[in-house]
Each structure stands twice: as structure tokens, then as C-alpha cells.
Structure 1
Amino acid sequence: MTSTTRPIRIGNCSGFYGDRVAAAKEMVEGASADGQGIDVLCGDYLAELTMLILAKAQAKDPSAGYAKTFLTQVEDVLGTCLERGIRIVANAGGLNPSGLAEAVRAVAERLGLDAKVAHVEGDDLRGDLAAITPPVTDEPVSANAYLGGWGIAEALGAGADVVVTGRVTDASLVVGPAAWWHGWGPSDFDELAGAVVAGHVIECGPQATGGNYSFLNEITDRRYPGFPIAEVAADGSSVITKNEDTGGLVSVGTVTAQLLYEIGPPAYLGPDCTSHFDTIRLTQEGEHRVGIAGVRGSAPPETLKVALNDVGGYRNTMTLVLTGLDISARAAYAEELLFDVLGGRDRFAEVDTRLLRFDHVDAPGNEQAVAHLRVTVKDPDPKKVGRAFSNATMQLALGGYAGFHTTTPPSSESQFGVYRPAAVPRSAVTQTVVLPDGERRVIPDPLCSAHTEATTSGATTSSAGDAGPGEADRTRGGVQSRGPTQRVPLGTVCGARSGDKGGHANIGMWGRSDDEYAWLQEFLTPDKVRELIGPEAAELEIEVFALPNLRAVNVLVHDILGAGVASSTRPDPQAKGLGEYLRSRLVDVPESLLSV
């Protein structure tokens, strides 16, 4: 543990496997306006889909299974980090953290550097699935418990320069270093929760500094956004910033957007604590500096989240282009002809057809008169959905509808995965840190016998046609009258950010004033959200959670992504555009909100 009480400065250099490789060097060599550099360089490389990708790589080569781009970044910055005392912490180990640790040592040796490398393991449950619920009866290609930050803290305390992990939570990359730096204990729930929130903000890199931000006009520096830095204080409060002379924006709005990304109820469950997102307070403390304070924490749940990935079978998609008149009729005709050629729909385990309308009446250009008929087939038998399927679409070329063509030539099948969420008792998982000298230290679960039930108050929920708890009171008589209205896009008075939560999608929406939030919270009932999303949400459960401190609501749409990103047949399988779609819908907004 370091004796200093100043905030620890943790800079992010990766939000996913495949992110900007140069970000590590830019972060390490940059500095804030006061000349300060970072104390820790962290990077997040894992997602549910990434674990499936790494499992495929490991099946071909047992020495693989980690994010190889991390090694390029290490080679770029290791010398500078050792010289400046900057520690490196990353979850790039994926399914093979020990293999990545060895690879980092090899990089250091090649560079002539003496780097102390540690790794954290224990998350990979493929060797013993017995304690997982619901029970696992097959052999998933990956099965990982989400570990917390104490293994990272232990490694840093033992002098590690580089710490690589498997599946820890994204926020643990900040929680571990902050707990080590400030000497927190396992029951310091408020401090830990503050670090979780800071970690959640910076885990996706430039999404906190203007990337993917709804209000483009607010971003005056259009250079590629600088990656974010969290300055975490001893009490768990933090400041989000970025290096000087980098692009993008750090504002209450950009930080709010990232706080709302891929969350569920306000009680955000984690392995080290439950963080209550409805207690977060944000303040603009200066240019590109946003303070986070007031975060309350409580004990974590008695179980750890587990992500299971299975091979789901094989799939193929062909997209037929329709132009001009009678689009719907031609699409129906094409579908009928295609499946007649193929021998019927029931030959496949699953068929998904979507008519995507981009066409305009009397279009001024050919490209504005087209629609796409997107046909996806799935089956355990790759031969059924391979070239036998895609070649069949070409039989319509001369015998189908007028103007037939496709967006791609006939394609081969691809394997897809199925994601399953699960849980495991904390006592069934052994987090272990392997120190630079090879010593193995078991990290005792600090709260195996302690549990404070997390509340999810403030939520309204409903399935299609049913009013959930509290909804009737909120919607009785409709939205309160606020005077005359205008029909404008919903996004006129709110921002949004959306993403995937397993098979669910979340949409965080926030107003920029108290009045906008008051109207938004009243307006966005589960039924209204279902109406705005349209037919694909007609039978889905929808929950809406209020986050008054952030002037925000969080919408959770259950099962819209089916069995997860790798299996979804939606054109937007990660629901990245769902929030912006809602913002584009025309709704009746009080003129009093438009005159500001």
C-alpha cells in the first residue's frame, strides 16, 4: 500500500478487444493541465461476445485465449511505465491469464526490461460446473465467474508492475488499484462503490469523453476523443478528466451518458459491493473535469455472476434488394419462391425474415428507392445453411421479381454462440493471485457470510398488456397537462445511450434540466416505451427505473436480443442504435420545454 493520501490517477486505454491500439502510448505520454501523469494504466478487453471469440481461438491453439493486441500496447509503453512508476492493470488475460503473463514477460525480456508480472485466476469454471445455477448439463465453451478487485490489489501491494486477469468485472480494474492505493478494507462499501462508479465511467474508453454522444453540437473539439482518466480520492469520490490537448469533451452530459450504459436496476450488483446508482451526484468542476460524489454502497450479493457461452449451431444471411413499386408484395413473393426452392421453412431450426424499408415514393435517386429483404437461417447442420442456402437465393435471379439483386455474393455458413447468464455461490470460487516470484496467494472472499439485500425500489415493470407495480398510479389520466405541445422528435429534450445486457437491451435517457427530467420520467412508462420501439417489443417485458440525481431514466427491454449478441438476428444485434431510434420518434412535447 502506498502511504500517500492524494487521489490515484487511473487512465484507460481500451474499451474492448480491438480498440485504438495507440491509446496506451497516448495515455502514458500525455499529461493533464497541471502536468500530472497517471499512476495506473488500465484496459478493458472483455465482453460476453469476446469470451466466445477467445474460446474459439483457444480451441484451435491451447496457448491462445487472451487479447493479443494488449501485447502490442505493452511493448509501446512498458519502458516508460517502469521509468515513471506507472502500474499496468488489464483483464486482457481472458481465458488464459497465465499465458498472457508469460507473453508479457517475454516482451519485457526482448526489450531488456525487468518487469514484475502477476496474474489473477480462478474465474474459469469449466473444470467444475457443479455449483452453477441453473444447473449446467452440457459443456459450455466458456464459463466464467465475475471476480472483484482484491486480487489486483494484492498483486499491486506485492510490488507487481503489470497485473493481468481473466474475467474480473470491468470496474474492478479501477476498484483494485484504488483499494490498494488508499488502503481500503472489504467493508468500506461507500468507498468501494465510488470506485465502481468511476470504473464504470472509464471502462469504455472514449464513450466518457464525447464518443457516441447524442448531442454532437456540444463537442466543439472534433478530434478523436482523448481516453478518460479517473482521479479517485480516499473517500471514494472521483473526478473524470482526460489528458490536455486531446479531442472530445468531458461534461456532466458525457459522464451521465456513460453511467447509463449497460446497467439495470439502480442497485448495481458487483462482487465487492452493491453500488447504488441513484445516489450519484455529478458536478462540472472545470473544463473537462466532472466530479462524482455521494455514492453509497452496501454489501454484495451472496452469489457471483457467471457468463456461459455455448456453440449454438450455424447461421447464414442473404439480403435481397427490392426497388421501386410494390415492395411488400414483391418481398412476400420472393420469400415464397425462396423457401419453395429450399424445401420449406421447417427444414431449418430457425428462420428470421425482415423487410427493411429505406424506399421513398418518387425517389430522386435509385439508391433512395430500395428496400432490403434480409433472410437468416440457423441450424445445427452447417450444410443446410451454407452454400446450399445462399446459392438457392440466386435461383431467383432470373425467375423471381423484377430488379432482383443481392447485397453480397452467395456466402458460406458461420458458427454462432449462445449466451446464458448464471450464478455461483461465492464459496465455490477461489480467486488466486500468482505473484511475480511464482507464489500463489488465495484471496479469501471478504463477505462470504455477509449479505445485505439490495433494493430495486423506484422501478415500474410490465409485460405486454399488463400494468406492473406502481404503473397504474403513474399513468392514470396520462401525462399531466403542461400546456400546449408540439410534435417533435423525443431527442429534442433528451439524450440516450443504449447497449446489450445479455439477451436484454438497456436504454438510458436523460434530460438536461429539471423540467425535462420531470416530463421524461412521467412520459416514459413501460407501455409508452413499448409503443415507441414498435412491433418487436409488443410481447416483451419492459422495466423503467428512475435516477433523479442524474435527471435520467433507465429502460430495460427484456429478451429483445434473444440468446445474446452472438445469436441475435437483429440488424443491430447489440442494440447500440436503439436509444437513438427512440430519440428520433415524434412525440408531443410541451412547448414550455422547447422555448428554453
Structure 2
Amino acid sequence: MGKPAADPDVIRIGNCSGFYGDRRSAMREMLEGGRLDVLTGDYLAELTMLILGRDRMKDPSLGYAKTFLAQIEECLALALERKVRIVANAGGLNPAGLAEKLRKVAAELGLDAAIAHVEGDDLLPRAEELGLGAPLTANAYLGAWGIAACLDAGADVVVTGRVTDASVVVGPAADYFGWSTTDYDALAGAVAAGHVIECGTQATGGNYAFFTELADLGRPGFPIAEIRADGSSVITKHEGTGGSVTVDTVRAQLMYEIQGARYAGPDVTTRLDSIALSQEAPDRVRIGPVIGEPPPPTLKVSLNTIGGFRNEMEFVLTGLDIEAKAELARRQLESWLPVRPAELDWTLARLDRPDADTEEGASALLRCVVRDPDPNKVGRGFSNVAVELALASYPGCTFTTLPGNGSPYGVFMAGYVDAAEVAHIAVLPDGTRVDIVPPTRTAALEPVPEPELPRPLPRGATRRAPLGEIALARSGDKGGDANIGVWVRTEEQWRWLVHALTVEELRRLLPEVGELPVTRHVLPDLRAVNFVVSGLLGEGVAYQARFDPQAKGLGEWLRSRYVDLPVDLRRVSA
């Protein structure tokens, strides 16, 4: 096992980054704020891999999260002094390159730091052979055992490429408690804890539906998972930091970017429908124990390609005859274009209101987005025509910004390969390379049958009110799909929600869903339903199919929609 933690029964794992670009000072804040055994950071997302891929195209020595390197330069001495190990996926497309940079930083600072990394996720050289096409990036989601091997060898800092977000938490816990690859319940508990803290301050009140209940959301602290040998955990934060840790802030993060009741990973499949939450004390929420099952036999692969080139123009329409003004602008621009792009999409946002007392309040926005494999078809040819409308179109014609030359956009797809085809390698501090053996027990991922539903509430008087008066929600993206998790606090509210919020009702409340495939998953122990809307986000966040390309506000839109609520159902305190 690696370096001992302060408490033999609990390993205390913090988080200091939920994405590439998160709070720069968080690493120091977490190291100075109180006791930790391990500090983790999640720097990778589907969009980030595309950004790093473009970095690598310009300079093959790049491809990692540069902000992490700056944070380590500032905080490595403090981490070593406090005996806090650091584990992060900041290596991106070049974990070996980042590890080498870290060694140089440590040497320049006069520090004796053991640096290790995990590699093998990069499948780009074999993409065609594995049936993955010809992408810009191709990275398999590795698990926790390479991290555990590095820590077991005494690493102070471990950087990885594309691992699952929870793996940076599971690896330290597995190493500390000596779990085996078949300790599925313990592994699943650590996955749940990792999933909660992976997005940083979203676990301490950030992006939380009932945010007005929180006393201090000015600058939320980053979360901590105290994990025990059975995988159960307590989610908390450093004393004196902002935000709150409640059952609902934790439940919100559990509902984020999930699909069904089985949450598949490379090491274990976590049964989300087995999770129980309880408020142990202020800012302390207990999770678990959790049920785990063998992982699926395949690994998910993140595939990013350059889909083509994109440009956009946004017109401001003010006052009367908004629809007619929009139609004139559309007709003119399309007929003036020298060549029509492959895709030309219009969106009219009716933000105007009658008899407005400000010009902005009287204005709507008309957005035109063009895409094409040929940059010339969405470049100056499009921009020049759009600008030429300024004195020749509807009254009051103006723009929010002037269009440019167009820029490349990315497309995300998920691929799958047999786990045995992927080399998962731990490169220890002394340079020794250790092959991580793939799981010997696997189970194909099957949907969980819908559980028996509680009996519905008796019919009675109703009132028109927003769904969000009683329901909380969290939404997000998985490639081109969007998920919307919705939950309530009381058993009576649950008896109403699970029968009222059907797929058909979701389509009625969110007309933009249209006829897209929608799947509903019921999670009774969380009093939650989760919807997966396939294809709502086109070909991923970089494609920008909607003005909210990551579906972050989709749940809030749903909460704002009016439904027939039973008169006795009211918002209750946590």
C-alpha cells in the first residue's frame, strides 16, 4: 500500500477542479483549509479533449491541462509538507509529457517529489484497426487500478490521461484499503463518492435548484469525500468555507449526466437505484453502502473529429412586427448568399414584451448559424452578406456582434472496444511500467426493469403552478444526448411525480424535445426520475446545436413549466 493516511479507517479525498478552467486558487485553498489525504482534480470533458487535440496539432509536446502545471508549481511544496498526494486526469492527451514537466518543476523548486503517470488510453494510432474511423482524438476511458498501482509505489503526484471522472477517487481508496478487483460493492461506493465530488462546487450548492435556501453561496467551498473500507462515504467540505452540503446538493450531483439505474464503468457497474442518502450532521451527508456489479466487457472511447466550419450572425429586432422583420431578414440573407452552406439554421428568441419601458425589453434576437465542410462557404462570403443587410433590411436593423471568418467545430461520438484491446499502463516513479490486467469477470449492461410504482395520490383539487415549486432538477450532456434528473422531497410528492411526469408529459412541457427518442428511468430510493433525450444536442457540445449546447439549463426550463399540482403539495424545507 501507498503512504498511510491519518485515519486507518477513513481516507479523506478532496477535489479542487471540476473542469479545465475551474477556480485557479482551489488547489491552495484545499491544501490550506484542513486535513486531507488525497487531493484530486477533474480537468477533462468531451469538449476539453477536442481543445487539447487542437493544441497537440500545433505543438506535439502539448495536449495536457496547462493550468494544472501552474497550480503544481505554486502548491507542490505545500502538498509535500502536508503529506497530501495529488491525483488528476490533467495529462489529457499527453500524460507522459505532463509527468516530465512536473519532474522539471519539482527539480527547479528543489523538491524531492515522486511523480508517476498512467497511459494507454490513447487509441489514435490504432483507431482504424479498432474500427473507430479517422478521428482527431480517440481515448478509452480507463479505470482506477493504474492510479492505485502508482500510489502503491509511493507516488506523491499521479497524472493520467482519459480515465473515468470517478477513477481519480476510486484509485486512492482502492489502494488505501487494499480492495480487490471483485470488491464490487466497495468499488461502487467509491464511484458514487467520486461522481459526487468530481464536478467540484456542484456538490456544495453550485447550480442547485433551491439555491435560495442556502445561507452562503457567495464562494462555495470544494467538496471532500471521507471513504470507509466498505465503500460508504460522507460528503463534506472544509469548515468555514461557503456553500452547503445537504442531501439535495448531493442528490443533485448524483443525478448529473447519468442514464439508467446501472452506471457503467471500467471497474464496476454501480447500481444508482441502491443509493441511500442521509444528513449525518450540518455539511455532512452519508452515502451508502452501495451495490456494485461486474463491469461491462467493453470500454467507452471518446472520439472527437473536426466536423467542418461554422459561423453565426445575430440580428436585433426591436418593437413591432417582429415576425415579419425576422422573415424579411431570413429571405434577404438566404437569397443574397453566393452559395448556400450545407447547414443553415435560424432561431428566433422572442425576448421582447409589449409596451416595454426599455429598448432592450422591446427587442428579440434572430440568430443564424451556418456550417459546411468548406470554410469558404461559411467565411467572408457569409459575413459580408450579413453585414450588407445593415442599411437594406428591416427598420432598426442592427447586430449584437459582427461575424468573422468562421471557425472549425468539433463533433463528438462514443465508440466501444473490448477492454482486452486496450493497454492500461501504470508508469511508476522509478520508470517501471506495470501492465494493468483487464477485469476477468464482466457482465453485459442490461437495463433495470422499472420498479413497482407507489400507488398514485387520490384524485382531488389541483392548481396551476410551476413544477419547480416542489421539484428539483439537474441536467447535463452526454455527447449528443441530454439528461434531466427530477426529484422531490416527500413521499406524497413522489407518489404524484412518478405518475404525473411521464415521457408524454415531458414532451408536452418541453416542445423542443419533439419526436426525439426519450427514455425514463425511475429511482425510487432517490425519489427521482431521470430522462435521457437522445440527439437533442446534435453531435455534441462543440457542434452547438442549441443555444444551451450542454443542456445545463434544460432542467430549469422544465421546472419553470406550469402543471396541475394537487393543492396540498407545497414546497417543504430540507
Query: TM-score range, shorter-chain basis?
Result: over 0.9
Which of residues 17, 22, 29 is equivalent to 1:26?
29
Q: Which amino acid aligns with 2:422?
A: V
Report matched runs for 1:548-587 at 5 Å: 548-587=524-563
* Residues 175/136 of structure 1: CA separation in 2 closer, same or farther (3 Å cut): same
Aligned-pair CA distance for 1:131: 5.7
Code of the aligned partner of 1:249: S
Please tell me the residue identity of whatever aligns with 1:30: G
Aligned mates of 1:565, 1:517 — CA distance in 2 = 32
Distance 2:406 2:443 in 1: 48
The residue number in structure 2 matching 1:494 is: 471
Tell me, yes or no, if the aligned pair for 2:18 and 2:43 is still in contact at 8 Å: yes
Distance in 2 (CA, whole Å) between partners of 1:252 and 1:84 is 30
| Cα-to-partner distance string for 1:359-409 (whole Å, 9 max, x where unaligned) | 111112111111111000001111211122122112111110011000002
Distance in 2 between residues matched to 1:338 and 1:130, nearest whole Å: 41
Work out whether 1:456 is the aligned partner of 2:458: no
RMSD, aligned CA: 1.6
Of the three residues 324, 330, 340, the one matched with 2:325 is 330
User: Partner of 2:569: helix, strand, or coil?
Assistant: helix
1:207-226 residue CA offsets vs partner (Å, 9 max, x unmatched): 00000001122110133100
| Structure 1, 379-388 or 42-51: larger mean CA deviation | 379-388
Partners of 2:470 and 2:571 within 8 A in 1: no
Distance (Å, rounded) in 1 between the aligned partners of 2:97 and 2:262: 35
1:254 aligns with: 249
Equivalent position SS for 1:294: coil
Q: Which residue of 2 aligns with 1:299?
A: 294
Residue-by-residue CA offset, 1:510-555 (whole Å, 9 max, x unaligned): 1021211221111111111111111x21120111111111111111
Letter in 1 for 2:548: D
The answer to whether residue 349 in structure 2 is matched with residue 351 in structure 1 is no
- Superposed counterparts of 1:399-438, under 5 Å: 399-438=392-431
Tell me the equivalent position of 1:266.
261
Any idea what SS the aligned residue of 1:397 has? helix
Alignment partner of 1:202 out of 187, 197, 202: 197
CA distance in 2, matches of 1:577, 1:595: 21
CA distance in 1: counterparts of 2:122 and 2:508, whole angstroms: 41
1:530 aligns with 2:525: no
Aligned to 1:154: 149
Q: Indicate the residue corresponding to 2:384 in structure 1.
A: 391
2:111 partner SS: coil
Task: Answer yes or no: is the 8 Å Cα contact 1:544–1:555 preserved in 2.
Answer: yes
Task: Identify which of 44, 47, 66 aligns with 1:46.
Answer: 44
CA–CA separation in structure 1 for the residues paired with 2:186 and 2:281: 23
Matching residue of 1:467: none
Please give the alpha-carbon distance, in whole angstroms, between the structure 2 residues aligned to 1:104 and 1:384: 44
2:14 maps to 1:11: yes
Matches of 1:193 and 1:455 in 2, distance apart?
A: 17
Distance 1:395 1:130 in 2: 45
Partner of 1:465: none
- Report the Cα distance in structure 2 between the residues aligned to 1:38 and 1:14, rounded to whole angstroms: 15
Q: How far has the Cα of 1:77 moved from its partner?
A: 1.7
Alignment pair present for 1:228 and 2:205 = no
In 2, are the aligned partners of 1:131 and 1:424 still within 8 Å (CA)?
no
Distance 1:506 1:283 in 2: 25
| Aligned-residue offset at 1:287 | 0.7
1:100 maps to which residue? 98
Query: Number of residue pairs matched?
Result: 569
Structure 2 residue 353 is the aligned partner of structure 1 residue 360: yes
Distance 2:526 2:403 in 1: 49
Structure 1 contact 272–300 (Cα < 8 Å) conserved? yes
> Helix, strand or coil for the counterpart of 1:500?
strand
Q: What SS is found at the alignment partner of 2:344? A: strand
Matched residue, 1:378: 371
Structure-2 separation of matches of 1:590 and 1:124: 53
Partner Cα separation in structure 2 for residue 120 and residue 149 of structure 1:
10
The 8 Å contact of residues 131 and 425 in structure 1, kept in 2 or not, is answered as no
**Contact 2:457/2:492 (8 A) holds in 1:** no
State which drifts further: 411-420 or 200-209. 411-420
Alpha carbons 2:480, 2:540 under 8 Å: kept: yes
What secondary structure sits across from 1:372 in the alignment? Answer: strand
> Which amino acid in the other structure matches residue 351 of structure 2?
F
Cα offset for 1:481? 4.6
Aligned partner of 1:265: which letter? G
The match for 1:466 is none
Letter in 2 for 1:504: D
Distance 1:484-1:458 versus aligned 2 partners, 3 A rule: farther
Q: Does 1:136 align with 2:132?
A: yes
Tell me how far 1:454 sits from its aligned partner: 3.7
Aligned residues of 2:311 and 2:403 also touching (Cα < 8 A): no
Deviation at 1:458, TM superposition (A): 4.2
8 Å CA contact retained: 1:265, 1:459: no
Q: Which amino acid aligns with 2:132?
A: V
> Hey, what's the Cα distance between the residues in 1 that align with 2:547 and 2:236?
34
Asked if 2 retains the 8 angstrom alpha-carbon contact of 1:175 and 1:199, the reply is yes
- After TM superposition, list the pairs within 5 Å mapping 1:72-151 onto structure 2: 72-130=70-128, 132=130, 135-137=131-133, 139-151=134-146
Which stretch of the first structure deviates more once superposed, 219-228 or 241-250? 219-228
Partner of 1:463: none
> Which residue type is aligned with residue 98 of structure 1?
A
SS of the counterpart of 2:541? coil
Distance 2:495 2:457 in 1: 10
Q: What's the offset of the Cα at 1:455?
A: 3.5
Change (3 A) 1:187 1:434: same
- Which digits, 9 at most, give the CA deviation of each residue in 1:228-282, with x for residues without a partner? 0000100000000000110001000100000000000110000000000000000
SS at match of 2:543: coil
- Provide Cα deviations, 1:97-149, integer angstroms capped at 9, x if missing partner: 000001111111111101000000000001112564xx333x21100000000
SS at match of 1:373: strand
Distance in 2, matches of 1:217 and 1:576, equals 19
After TM superposition, what 4+ stretches of structure 1 lie above 4 angstroms from structure 2?
Answer: none
SS at match of 1:174: helix
Q: Is the 8 A contact 2:127 2:135 kept in 1?
A: no
Distance 1:480 1:332 in 2: 48
